[in-house]
Amino acid sequence: METNFNSTLVDIISFGMNAPGIASISNIPSGKYKSIKLVLDSNQGNVGINEESFGFHFTNSNPIEINSNFEVITGLTTNIKLNFDLVQLQYNYTENSFTLPSQIVTSTKTSFELPYTPGILILKLTKPIENIDSNEVGIQEIDSILGKNNLLSILPLVAEDTTVDQETAALIGLDRTYFLIFEAKVDLLQVNFALANIPEIEWVTTNTKAEVDAVPNDPEANTGCFFCSKYQAAYLTAINAYNGWNITTGSPGVKIAVIDTGIDDTHQDLMGKIIQNRSFEPATCYHWGIFPYECVTHLEVSRPFYNGAQGWDHGTDVAGIIGATTNNNLGISGIAWSNPIISINVFYPVSGNKPSSSDRLVAYGILEAVNVGAKVINMSLGGEAYEYCQWACLVRVFTYSLSRDAVRYAEAKRVTMVASSGNDNRRIATFPGSIEFSGSYPASYNEVISVGNLDSVFSYTRKYISSNYGKVDISAPGTSIFSTSTNGNYVFKTGTSMAAPMVAGLAALILSIDSNYHPKDVLKSMCNQATPLTQTGNSSIDREYFGCGRINIAATLAALVPPPQRPNIVSDCGAIDQVPCPAGRWFLPWEFQFVASGGTPPYSWSYEGGGLPTNSWLDPNTGRLVGGATWWFGPGWTFMLRVTDSAGQSDIRSFYFASGL
């Protein structure tokens, strides 16, 4: 049981805490129900107040009855929220905990929805099959099951005329992947289970939904440059960005794809930075002109569907963190100033115009990003993976299998992927996880850099309360981050969605120095110079909280750039163990050419300490020492000579000059 605190209500959320949520209602028979009695597994929980967690328990653990009409069908996920009047909430000073002496429900809210798209299964065969029919695979056992469930059509993921690299796609198996189209009323999980253990099938799964990874909060609009500079300066200083920009601000040749809700490229801080790519969204197609099914269509650009609507500024916010225009006397500074950003929208509006996506759309977005030349992909999105079980889990079906293959394709093309770890304050598994310990995808894939959120209240040294932990590779500030929004606005947002683009920006800076870095080397470079963090005193737990630590941009980039070679003064005279350099002969003018090697020419010359030979002059541009006729014969002259190259590196050495007969 988990409780969330606000000013008026405590919310008890059930049927979502034990991963996956499917398991919580797997034993409830399908049908329509007028009410349900909720029996809590435990009357103990936590209440979060001002970033701190306190113990919480009910003194009465009787079942809670909810009178609400709802329907249970196979594969349905359920959220039940019960609201309790906080007047009843009491604090126990001795135990430092809260109690609720009576369970008085003031309101209830139940929501039931499929976690996947109706009518679509995604199938991957173990071997490619040529000339698959529109409604038959050509394998009797598979076709028998599909026929019994009235398969409408089979559609290939990768067609021959796409821009996908066919050779790499074949290595990953994308050419063996198909969409199975059914009527929406078909029980997909039963079909899925029936197909799962057939030897010719590598995997089969549903098209699982995905969401943006931003913590809902009330954005505060910019009220002046004071807030802009104050909040930006705090996190930019924490990640050592200012010193890093002295090394590189990025390269136009390294493109960053933002797979998100689209980007408003009319924002004054993003103008000229955004490459609008085509978007991916579901549409209704018809089989034989009769049976509707969900297909994918494209728009020519990837701008938000609803400028100003809740959630649709998410991609614009992410883009600003990555690469808002710098030195334009406006708004904010992005991490990677000089890198173009590719906008790829994979979200579409659902009830209330809320942005939603799916495993299939995210996979299309990844493939598209690779094909249009992105070297870095940011995915501030994700969802919990479900592992459906049947017959005491003898048959298991894992979700997010399609995006898994898209991620493998991207890594094979040496594209660095960064994703938010999620905002559920839960421990997430590394792929594949288990039914008891699930992941958050795409962050849980080994090929993807998973990013945790650091709390501004503690100067970015502690995990933010909602940030997931477990499979976290590295951390960055993600609390109250000030960035671009739609309609020319700026907002503060919190979530791992805000932390991930900082890491994506650093990845772009690394690749701007050396574009041949493999994605694993990019993460290794970050971790080698990351700032270690500790919160619990337990190194294993801290590793799950922070990964290898907080990004350090300057240290990471400095380690990649060898220190400039210093110039070196070259001479075979004038040193202690050498003969004196000649300062001319009696009654004759003379000259001497100093020589340097290495460093970055051109050089400049100067003398420091001591004095030049009498009646001589040093040309600071050429290093030529010119003297008039001399009549001195005796002790010579000692002075310090410095050479400085165009990079500011210098060498200095002592010279001894003497006149000769």
- CA 280, 285, 287, 288 torsion-angle sign: negative
CA separation for the pair 637, 584 (Å, rounded): 12
Catalytic residue selected from 260, 269, 313, 405: 260
- CA 370, 375, 380, 382 torsion-angle sign: positive
CA separation for the pair 278, 262 (Å, rounded): 10
In 116-146, which positions are buried (b, 16+ CB within 10 angstroms) versus exposed (e)?
A: bbbbbbbbbbeeeeeebeebebebeebeebb
How many residues appear in the chain? 661
Q: Return the structure tokens found at 456.
A: 């501004």
Catalytic (active site) residue 143? no
Q: Tell me which H or E stretch contains 236.
A: helix 225-238
Closest CA to 153 of 195, 202, 119: 119
Closest CA to 145 of 218, 209, 194: 194
Could you tell me the end-to-end alpha-carbon distance of the chain, in angstroms, rounded to an integer? 100
CA separation for the pair 366, 369 (Å, rounded): 5
The order of strands in the sheet holding 341-345 is 274-276, 341-345, 255-260, 374-379, 416-420, 448-454, 474-477
Closest CA to 481 of 233, 223, 211: 233
Rounded to 5 degrees, φ, ψ at 200 are -75, -5
Virtual torsion, Cα 569, 572, 576, 578, nearest 10 deg? 180
Catalytic residue selected from 314, 343, 616, 651: 314
Catalytic (active site) residue 260? yes
Residues 6+ apart with CB under 8 A from 400: 205, 208, 359, 383, 385, 441, 442
CA separation for the pair 565, 567 (Å, rounded): 7
Helix axes 553-560, 519-528, angle to 10 degrees: 120
Catalytic residue selected from 302, 333, 497, 616: 497
Catalytic (active site) residue 287? no
Q: Return the structure tokens found at 576.
A: 């202690």
Q: Return the structure tokens found at 477.
A: 């500030």
Q: Return the structure tokens found at 98.
A: 């809260």
Q: If 0-12 CB within 10 Å is exposed, 13-18 middle and 19+ buried, where does residue 429 land? A: middle
Residues annotated as part of the active site: 260, 314, 497
